């Protein structure tokens, strides 16, 4: 009886699906465990072998947890809004929903072949109206909320209105954005509705604002910074301009501190936590106001500094060229120079400015600030090393203590005042914080730490500013000028945004004829006719009926890709609920993800936004926990091994890899499927491949240097490890692997490739190892080609093998070292095969051990040995350390001049047990060696000493 993996795998995949083996259900007493993969965007290219790596790992863990008696939630879904489907729609006119549907079908077919234990009854798709109804609902909740820093949580906007009505904004203005003036309760009550709304929008957690964006007129859309290369769009090379646009933003900055604090209790990879910490970019210091000579009192320059202790070292100020005060304070004499400089910087993209750090440029405004303590005149400069987008867009320049200020001062010959005791600043600034402050009035003689404290105290006492914590984290722009995204549940009444009441959700994406921006530059939704809101019928009506009385225009932007992915993990808990985004019962049972697996590229995107929304929904009482994923693992990328042929430059002759030295050759990617495991090229297949039409008549010289006629020489390709991608012709399709070796082989091999978290190259030739292991395992259960398992009692030796394996595999799974447990299986099967072991007592638990890794073959054999229920419901075997004692290794060590012997034992033994066992061991050992037994001393920890 052969190991017919194709038949076995098809059989069990259909069994699992028919019996809903992996369906999760809250009505149970078992402890819960929630294992989740980051859901995929269903691209048209389908899956390659790199994609399932994380899914296999999470599947192994989910199956393991089921064996451990946990009630496991392990769902899967699709992040189905996205750009590629929209671009395909622009090119072909096909509705993105259709493309998406087709792609999902392909994904599902591919995933099903690998034998995952997903509960597909809970599938979510972000582009389904039943799903994005709740994305819209969350948006409305954010709009209806503000962040109260007194209670340190988000609250209903009504509580803010109540405060305003009672006492104005005196006590809450500090948390709001800059530019809010103080008002009293009376003033508030006297404001018009519109004025009140304008004020409230500065507190709401999502708000409209004029944001400067990278606008590409040619593409009709906003581009992210990384979509711009050298000032033109990455795609198409079109010019990009900075443009102010009214956009929705999310006030994530309100959560900066809590997002930072929350990291501490998360079991996430350190690099990922560091990335978030850097991204949030907390810096502690002071904000200080500098008055300007000959200017009105309210025109002050506010700076943020992390070194208030160096305030007496200030010799000039630098403003960002875009700073609001620049035009106001520039003197007539300097006007021309300043304007020229501003124009020059505006031409350079932000990216250029960042890339070019060495060139020092700037201009003097002619104005002077006044030092708050000394009253000295301080020249005000502008320079593009100061960024408008960070802090206040202005710095107090201390050349002796900051290298950039130092360089600027040297370049423009501005004074450099030394305020550090015994430090030479003639060559460079002193940036370390060990020097004592001197030459600084009341700060002289103090250490940096003490001086900083005192400086802030004095600044606050004298009213020049206050201690402040600054964050790099910016509010997130939430509007996209795209079609294929969630529409906002918003209409505009007299230009003011209005939320559509929750009972009228979802606001379904309208049909459009064209997926491009309109002729007038409106987003694609501007093409929709049926896109106006009627407040009488509470429904969407034709745009032509807009009368600005009962029928109003609707929002034309859509939400960004991260909207739907910021809360989907909560939806899996209760995916069909029509009355809430998740029911209280479901979320109180499942609470949060226990294990989340996905790529590290989401560190500062998805994983930060999702934490933000989770905290917000927690604050508003919709969720029981404020972090959504307890443990997170980043799986490494699987890289492709590209193959190359070498064309002798300017000819139609291809040289084999061994011939290319000292030759001028051009390396050309060749489809990896045309190359065998010995790196030899199938020349006929190469010539017939559609991508090689031009090479039909090409000549191939093999390793021996002869022209290949197909008999006596072979063409060897070059190899290189690269990212797996269609354009590099190095993509390996999991379907082909399943067809040739089976899903169990694929699963084992993906784990065997190397540590889960590391990047590693794919080499199909290696799969033969795990495949022949499965065949060997199959043979353990078969004799003379018929199935046979003996009921005989297992021997000591066999039990030792089993328990060694249980222990190792359990440790490996819990440490996520899935690669080493595959080796453990191989060793166990080899050892059992050598003993010709066919005993149920050993073979049955062995199947449970391996079933998370290779579920199909395990189910088949499990069924054959007489089990009626799926192996998924079997308990994990219990490790018994007693079976391991004799496998301990003994070796001599010399310690403090005496000879001792070290005996390695499993750690599960208690001290007394070890003593007893070792004594027995030593007795037999001594008998064998013909000596007297030695005294046994058990040292706590690893080593047992047998003293000679």
Partner RNA sequence: GCCUUGGUGGCGGAAUUGGUAGACGCGCUGGAUUCAAAAUCCAGUUCUUUCGGGAGUGUGGGUUCGAUUCCCACCCAAGGUACCA
Chain positions 247 to 276 lying near RNA, rule: CB under 7 A, are: 270-271, 274-275
Residue (142 or 425) nearer to RNA, CB: 425
Residue (685 or 893) nearer to RNA, CB: 893
Q: In angstroms, give the least distance from the CB of 749 to RNA.
A: 8
Question: For RNA, what does the binding mask look like between residues 334 and 373, x meaning CB under 7 A?
Answer: -------------------xx-xx-x--------------
Question: Running DSSP on this structure, what letter comes out for residue 887?
Answer: G
By CB under 7 A, which span of 383-391, 410-418, 704-712, 876-884 interacts with RNA? 383-391
Subset of 773-832 contacting RNA (CB under 7 A): 773, 775-776, 817, 819-820, 822-823, 826-827, 830
Q: Residue holding tokens 């965007």?
A: 41
N-term to C-term CA, the chain = 56
Q: In angstroms, give the least distance from the CB of 468 to RNA.
A: 11
Number of helices (H) and strands (E), helices first, in the chain?
28, 36
The residues facing 33 across adjacent strands are 72
- 10 Å CB burial of residue 805 (0-12, 13-18, 19+) is buried
Instruction: Report in angstroms the alpha-carbon separations of 922 from 138, 897, 926.
Output: 69, 22, 6
Question: 3-state DSSP call for residue 641?
Answer: strand
* Sheet strand arrangement including 898-903: 890-895, 898-903, 944-947, 935-938
Q: In angstroms, give the least distance from the CB of 393 to RNA.
A: 5
Subset of 462-491 contacting RNA (CB under 7 A): 470, 472
Find the DSSP H helices in 168-254.
185-190, 193-200
Question: Running DSSP on this structure, what letter comes out for residue 267?
Answer: B
Question: 3-state DSSP call for residue 249?
Answer: strand
Residue (65 or 807) nearer to RNA, CB: 807
Q: In angstroms, give the least distance from the CB of 356 to RNA.
A: 6
Subset of 305-334 contacting RNA (CB under 7 A): 305-307, 320
Q: How far apart are CA 522 and CA 105, in angstroms?
A: 33
Q: How many residues bind RNA (CB under 7 A)?
A: 81
Does residue 393 interact with RNA by CB under 7 A? yes
Residue (603 or 872) nearer to RNA, CB: 603
Residue (309 or 619) nearer to RNA, CB: 309
Residue (136 or 249) nearer to RNA, CB: 249
The two structure tokens encoding residue 643: 């193959």
By CB under 7 A, which span of 44-52, 476-484, 596-604, 623-631 interacts with RNA? 596-604
The two structure tokens encoding residue 203: 């507190």
Residue (116 or 304) nearer to RNA, CB: 304
Does residue 437 interact with RNA by CB under 7 A? no
Does residue 279 interact with RNA by CB under 7 A? yes
Q: In angstroms, give the least distance from the CB of 295 to RNA.
A: 21
Does residue 677 interact with RNA by CB under 7 A? yes
By CB under 7 A, which span of 101-109, 389-397, 499-507, 869-877 interacts with RNA? 389-397
User: What is the SS3 string spanning 114-180?
Assistant: CCCCCCHHHCCECCCHHHHHHHHHHHHHHHCEEEECCCCEEEEHHHHHHHHHHHCCCCCHHHCCCCC
Residue (16 or 762) nearer to RNA, CB: 762
Q: In angstroms, give the least distance from the CB of 433 to RNA.
A: 12
The two structure tokens encoding residue 560: 């960004």
Q: In angstroms, give the least distance from the CB of 394 to RNA.
A: 7
Residue (275 or 454) nearer to RNA, CB: 275
DSSP per residue, 682-698: -HHHHHHSGGGGGGTT-
Q: In angstroms, give the least distance from the CB of 401 to RNA.
A: 8
Q: In angstroms, give the least distance from the CB of 35 to RNA.
A: 22
Q: In angstroms, give the least distance from the CB of 666 to RNA.
A: 23
Whether the Cβ atoms of residue 637 and residue 730 lie closer than 8 Å to each other = no
The residues, ordered by sequence, that sit 6+ positions from 944 with a Cβ below 8 Å of its Cβ are 902, 903, 905, 914, 918, 936, 937, 938
How many other CB atoms sit within 10 Å of the CB of residue 583? Answer: 14
Q: In angstroms, give the least distance from the CB of 743 to RNA.
A: 18
Residue (124 or 448) nearer to RNA, CB: 448
Subset of 851-910 contacting RNA (CB under 7 A): 889, 891, 893-896, 902, 904, 907
By CB under 7 A, which span of 256-264, 297-305, 455-463, 560-568 interacts with RNA? 297-305
Does residue 82 interact with RNA by CB under 7 A? no
By CB under 7 A, which span of 304-312, 544-552, 615-623, 686-694 interacts with RNA? 304-312
Half-sphere exposure of 353 (CA within 13 A, CB side): 19
Q: In angstroms, give the least distance from the CB of 786 to RNA.
A: 18
Element (H, E) at 458: helix 448-461
Does residue 676 interact with RNA by CB under 7 A? no
Instruction: Report in angstroms the alpha-carbon separations of 520 from 491, 516, 517, 529, 775.
Output: 20, 11, 8, 15, 66
Does residue 217 interact with RNA by CB under 7 A? no
Q: In angstroms, give the least distance from the CB of 128 to RNA.
A: 31
Length of the chain: 948
Q: Residue holding tokens 């060559």?
A: 427
The residues facing 319 across adjacent strands are 382, 394
Subset of 142-201 contacting RNA (CB under 7 A): none
Binding RNA by CB under 7 A: which of 20, 389, 537, 547? Answer: 389
Whether the Cβ atoms of residue 135 and residue 609 lie closer than 8 Å to each other = no
Q: In angstroms, give the least distance from the CB of 629 to RNA.
A: 19
Q: In angstroms, give the least distance from the CB of 350 to RNA.
A: 8
Q: How far apart are CA 399 and CA 406, in angstroms?
A: 4
Binding RNA by CB under 7 A: which of 19, 152, 171, 278? Answer: 278
Whether the Cβ atoms of residue 648 and residue 654 lie closer than 8 Å to each other = yes
The 10 Å CB-count burial string (b at 16+, else e) for 161-176 is: bebbeeebbeebeeeb
Q: How far apart are CA 644 and CA 657, in angstroms?
A: 9
* Sheet strand arrangement including 551-553: 539-541, 532-534, 551-553
Does residue 718 interact with RNA by CB under 7 A? no
Residue (836 or 868) nearer to RNA, CB: 836
Residue (89 or 681) nearer to RNA, CB: 681
Q: Residue holding tokens 């269903």?
A: 42
Question: Running DSSP on this structure, what letter comes out for residue 321?
Answer: T
Does residue 666 interact with RNA by CB under 7 A? no
Subset of 738-777 contacting RNA (CB under 7 A): 752-755, 758-761, 763, 765-766, 768-770, 772-773, 775-776
Does residue 385 interact with RNA by CB under 7 A? yes
- 10 Å CB burial of residue 944 (0-12, 13-18, 19+) is buried
Subset of 636-665 contacting RNA (CB under 7 A): none
Whether the Cβ atoms of residue 888 and residue 925 lie closer than 8 Å to each other = no
Q: In angstroms, give the least distance from the CB of 31 to RNA.
A: 26
Residue (662 or 896) nearer to RNA, CB: 896
Does residue 604 interact with RNA by CB under 7 A? yes
Residue (20 or 924) nearer to RNA, CB: 924
Q: In angstroms, give the least distance from the CB of 212 to RNA.
A: 14
Q: In angstroms, give the least distance from the CB of 380 to RNA.
A: 15
Q: How far apart are CA 615 and CA 263, in angstroms?
A: 12
Does residue 283 interact with RNA by CB under 7 A? yes
By CB under 7 A, which span of 42-50, 325-333, 600-608, 649-657 interacts with RNA? 600-608
Does residue 395 interact with RNA by CB under 7 A? yes
Element (H, E) at 629: strand 629-634
């Amino acid at each position: 009886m052969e190991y017919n993996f194709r038949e076995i795998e098809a059989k069990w995949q259909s069994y699992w699906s028919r019996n809903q083996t992996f369906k999760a259900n809250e009505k149970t007493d078992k402890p819960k465990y929630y294992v989740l993969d980051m859901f995929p965007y269903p691209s048209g290219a389908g899956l390659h072998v790199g994609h399932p790596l994380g899914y296999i790992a999470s599947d192994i863990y989910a199956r393991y947890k089921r064996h451990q008696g946990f009630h496991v939630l392990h769902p899967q879904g699709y992040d189905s809004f996205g750009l590629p489907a929209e671009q395909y729609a622009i090119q072909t006119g096909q509705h993105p929903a259709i493309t998406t549907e087709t792609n999902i079908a392909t994904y599902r077919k591919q995933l099903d072949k690998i034998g995952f234990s997903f509960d597909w009854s809970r599938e979510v798709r972000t582009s389904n109206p039943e799903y994005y109804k709740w994305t819209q609902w969350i948006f409305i909740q954010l709009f209806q909320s503000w962040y109260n820093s007194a209670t340190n949580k988000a609250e209903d906007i009504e509580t803010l209105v109540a405060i305003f009505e009672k006492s104005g904004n005196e006590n809450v203005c500090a948390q709001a954005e800059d530019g809010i003036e103080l008002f009293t309760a009376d003033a508030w009550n006297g404001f018009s509705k519109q004025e009140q709304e304008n004020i409230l929008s500065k507190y709401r957690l999502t708000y409209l604002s004029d944001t400067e964006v990278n606008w590409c007129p040619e593409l009709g859309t906003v581009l992210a910074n990384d979509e711009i290369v050298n000032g033109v769009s990455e795609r198409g090379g079109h010019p990009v301009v900075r443009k102010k646009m009214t956009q929705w933003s999310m006030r994530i900055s309100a959560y900066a501190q809590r997002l930072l604090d929350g990291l501490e209790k998360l079991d996430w990879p350190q690099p990922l936590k560091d990335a978030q910490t850097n991204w949030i970019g907390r810096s502690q210091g002071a904000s200080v106001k500098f008055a300007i000579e000959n200017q009105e009192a309210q025109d002050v320059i506010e700076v943020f500094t992390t070194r208030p202790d160096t305030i007496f070292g200030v010799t000039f100020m630098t403003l960002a060229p875009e700073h609001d005060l620049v035009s106001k304070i520039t003197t007539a004499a300097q006007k021309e120079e300043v304007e020229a400089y501003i124009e020059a910087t505006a031409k350079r993209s932000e990216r250029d400015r960042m890339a070019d750090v060495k060139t020092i440029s700037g201009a003097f405004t002619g104005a002077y600030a006044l030092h708050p303590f000394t009253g000295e005149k301080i020249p005000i400069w502008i320079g593009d090393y100061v960024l408008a987008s960070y802090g206040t867009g202005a710095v107090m320049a201390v050349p002796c203590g900051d290298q950039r200020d130092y360089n600027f001062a040297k370049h423009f010959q501005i004074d450099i005042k030394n305020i550090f005791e015994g430090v030479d600043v003639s060559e460079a600034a002193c940036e370390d914080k060990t020097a004592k402050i001197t030459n600084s009035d009341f700060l002289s003689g103090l250490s940096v730490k003490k001086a900083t404290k005192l400086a802030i105290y004095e600044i606050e006492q004298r009213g020049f500013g206050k201690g402040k914590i600054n964050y790099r984290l910016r509010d997130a722009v939430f509007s996209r000028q795209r079609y294929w995204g969630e529409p906002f549940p918003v209409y505009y009444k007299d230009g003011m945004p209005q939320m559509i009441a929750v009972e009228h959700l979802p606001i379904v994406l309208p049909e459009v004829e064209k997926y491009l921006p309109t002729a007038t530059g409106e987003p694609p939704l501007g093409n929709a006719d049926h896109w106006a809101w009627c407040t009488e019928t509470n429904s969407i009506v034709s745009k032509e009926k807009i009368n600005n009385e009962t029928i109003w225009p609707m929002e034309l932007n859509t939400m960004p890709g991260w909207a739907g992915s910021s809360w989907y993990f909560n939806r899996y808990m209760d995916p069909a609920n029509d009355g809430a985004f998740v029911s209280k019962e479901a979320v109180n049972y499942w609470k949060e993800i226990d294990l989340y697996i996905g790529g590290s590229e989401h560190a500062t995107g998805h994983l930060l936004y999702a934490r933000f929304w989770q905290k917000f929904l927690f604050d508003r009482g919709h969720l029981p926990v404020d972090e959504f994923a307890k443990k997170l693992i980043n799986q490494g990328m699987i890289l492709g091994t590209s193959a190359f042929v070498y064309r002798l430059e300017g000819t139609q002759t291809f040289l084999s890899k061994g011939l290319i030295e000292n030759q001028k050759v051009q390396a050309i990617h060749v489809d990896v499927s045309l190359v065998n495991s010995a790196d030899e090229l199938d020349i006929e297949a190469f010539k017939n491949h559609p991508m090689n039409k031009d090479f039909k008549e090409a000549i191939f010289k093999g390793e021996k240097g002869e022209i290949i006629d197909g008999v006596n020489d072979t063409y060897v390709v070059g190899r290189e490890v690269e990212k797996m991608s269609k354009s590099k012709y190095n993509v390996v399709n999991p379907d082909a692997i399943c067809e040739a070796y089976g899903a169990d082989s694929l699963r084992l091999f993906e784990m065997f490739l190397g540590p889960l978290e590391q990047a590693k190259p794919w080499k199909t030739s290696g799969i033969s190892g795990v495949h022949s292991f499965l065949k060997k395992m199959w043979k353990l259960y078969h004799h003379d080609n018929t199935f046979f398992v003996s009921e005989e009692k297992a021997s000591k030796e066999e039990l030792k093998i089993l328990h060694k394996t249980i222990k190792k595999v359990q440790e490996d799974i819990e440490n996520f070292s899935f690669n080493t447990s595959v080796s453990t299986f191989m060793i166990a099967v080899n050892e059992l095969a050598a003993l010709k072991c066919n005993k149920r007592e050993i073979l049955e638990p062995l199947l449970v051990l391996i079933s998370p890794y290779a579920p199909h073959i395990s189910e088949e054999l499990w069924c054959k040995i007489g089990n009626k229920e799926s192996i998924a419901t079997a308990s994990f075997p219990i490790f018994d350390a007693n079976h391991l004692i004799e496998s301990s290794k003994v070796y001599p060590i010399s310690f403090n001049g005496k000879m001792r012997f070290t005996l390695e034992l499993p750690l599960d033994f208690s001290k007394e047990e070890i003593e007893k066992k070792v004594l027995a061991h030593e007795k037999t050992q001594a008998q064998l060696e013909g000596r007297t037994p030695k005294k046994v001393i058990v040292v706590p920890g690893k080593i047992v000493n047998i003293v000679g």
